[in-house]
Every structure is written in C-alpha cells, then in structure tokens.
Amino acid sequence: MSYQSLIYLVGPPGAGKTTIGRRLASALSTTFIDTDERLAHSFGMPCGEIIRTRGLAEFRQAEAEVIRNTLAETGIVSLGGGAVETPAVRDMLREHTVVWLDVSPAEGVRRTSGDTNRPLLAADDPLARYIALRESRTPLYSDLCDMRVRTDQCSPQQAVAKILNWCEDHPDTHPPTTNPEALEHGETVF
C-alpha cells in the first residue's frame, strides 16, 4: 500500500466512530473530521432532520460531496453508518485506509436507543431494523476495510490501541501527525 494521510472509520450506528475517532486523532496528534457534523453544519440542521426534510437521496449526495472534500485533508475521518451505500463513496475509500468499527446489533440498539436524530433506525422493532441495516451494509464494510475492531468487546481506549498497533504493523498506511515538533524531525507520532 502507498502512504496514506487519512484513516476512514466506517461501521453501523453506535459502533463508536465518533468517540474512537476523536481519541485516535488525539493519540496521533492529528485532526478529527466527522462527516455527519460537517453535513449538519452545512445544512444548519441535524442529519436526521436533513433526511426527513430533504430525503435520503439528497442527503447521500451531499454526504458524498463532504467525503470528497476530506480527500484533500489529513487525519481521522468518521463516516455516517450508511455512507458506504453510495458507490462513489466506496470508490473514494478504496484508495485509503479504512477501519471497520463493528458492534453487535443488541449493543448497537442499546447505544442508539432514544436518539431521535437517527430516522433510519426508527421502527416498531428497533432490533429487527438494526439487524436488517447491519446485514445489508456488512458486505460493503467487509469489502472496504483494512482492519475490523469489535467495539462491544473492548473499551474505546482498547479499540484505539488496537488501531495504533495495526498502524505500527502497516507503516505505509497511517496518517501523519500534525505535531510540529515531530514534523520537523520527519517522525510520525503514535
């Protein structure tokens, strides 16, 4: 693999992409980018509201553009759970390091229950809906990922440690640090 300046975090809702992404970026002294936060800022409303008012197709198109804009940046990028459903997004990710953060359906539902900003999970049977979404996306996550971490089997700190260890074993794939002292010496900090 060639040297990469980005690590993309993918996975189902509640897998910990934002929590782990922030901690991973901090550990690497690099930036953290949450594409859902950028979308919400761009539209001036939460992602769930964008989907409800503009529709899923417009949301996915805007999401792909936000992801395209991250290609010129460095750091850790957290994607929305369904971003991988868009073929253009999958094409973009193939050239970068992708970490699949996975979680069991029961834990994913527990972590997202009561979150009204997730209209795609709204259902009479949240567990069945979560399982269906997860099953449809799992082949996409699996096809794209360079590594997989089960976040219901470890703490956020342990997940970060697993990713850092993987990066150490795959030095051509990790992002550069934004720590100025390390950059002066040509080092990547872990």
Query: 81: annotated binding-site residue?
Result: yes
pLDDT value of residue 182? 34
The response to whether 23 counts as a known ligand-binding position is: no
CATH number assigned to the domain covering 6-184: 3.40.50.300
User: CA nearest 22: which of 87, 101, 88?
Assistant: 101
pLDDT of the chain along its 190 residues, tens only?
233 578 999 999 999 999 999 999 999 999 999 999 999 999 999 988 999 899 999 999 999 999 999 998 989 999 999 999 999 999 999 989 999 999 999 998 888 876 666 665 667 788 898 899 899 999 999 999 999 999 998 999 999 999 999 988 887 664 444 433 333 333 322 2
Q: Is 110 annotated as a binding residue?
A: no
Would the annotation count 97 as a binding residue? no
Q: 137: annotated binding-site residue? A: yes
Q: Any binding-site annotation on 18?
A: yes
pTM (two decimals): 0.85
Say if residue 140 is exposed, middle or buried (CB neighbours under 10 Å; 0-12, 13-18, 19+). Answer: buried
* Residue 36 annotated as lining a ligand binding site: yes
Q: Give me the pLDDT at residue 110, please.
A: 87
Q: How high is the pLDDT of residue 112?
A: 83
**Is 54 annotated in some ligand binding site?**
no
Q: What DSSP string runs through 64-121?
A: HHHHHHHTTS-EEEEPPTTGGGSHHHHHHHTTSEEEEEE--HHHHHHHHTT-TT-GGG
**162 among annotated binding-site residues:** no
Task: Give the start-to-end residue ranges of the domains of the chain.
Answer: 6-184
